[in-house]
Structure 1
């Protein structure tokens, strides 16, 4: 079953050895995604589209690791953005979604 954010929680939990491992991985995801978002935001401000793509690729992988499909797709769109304006639009959507997901992590 998927939630409104399209996080496949049940699949994620099935892949974990224990609830503690799941919590630890979510904490790592939270920290790494915050760092990557910050780096992407800076790269966008500097007009560095290649760096945006590199960091978006890393974020896409992190989202896939925890079965967060909708965010993975947004990170993919950001990675493949043809120009800075499109990248900024995808970034705003992704940033908003990950902020919402932080609430899920906090209540996990």
Structure 2
């Protein structure tokens, strides 16, 4: 099931096809990704550049791991903007990443229910 929010084939290829391990990782992502996005959002409210970099980098990493490529790309854009101290640009990305994460989580939940 390759879709724009989750590249299942690439994810399981990376895990040598281990479906049980994949399900465990996806379940962790369902909890971890929203928590990291909340932390990122809080950091943007205080313009804390270091925390914005930290949480966007973490969200990028966990999203890349499960091959949620859209989330990883936007998180990387946020991280780069923060590193360049373009915090107003960071705020422009937040609504997009929130919407895409919501859609990604829905896809993952549906996948895990199969």
Give the TM-score normalised by structure 2. 0.84
Structure 1 equivalent of residue 26 of structure 2: 26
User: What secondary structure is seen at the aligned counterpart in 2 of 1:79?
Assistant: helix
After superposing on structure 2, the runs of 4+ consecutive aligned residues of structure 1 that deviate more than 6 Å are none
RMSD over aligned Cα, in angstroms? 1.6
CA contact (8 A) 1:43 1:52 kept: yes
CA contact (8 A) 2:4 2:70 kept: no
1:11 maps to 2:10:
yes
Give the TM-score normalised by structure 1. 0.88
Structure 1 residues 30-49: aligned runs within 5 Å: 30-49=30-49
Report the alpha carbon displacement of residue 64 of structure 1 after superposing the two structures with TM: 1.1
Structure 2, gaps ≥5 residues long: none
Structure 2 equivalent of residue 79 of structure 1: 79
Structure 2 equivalent of residue 92 of structure 1: 95
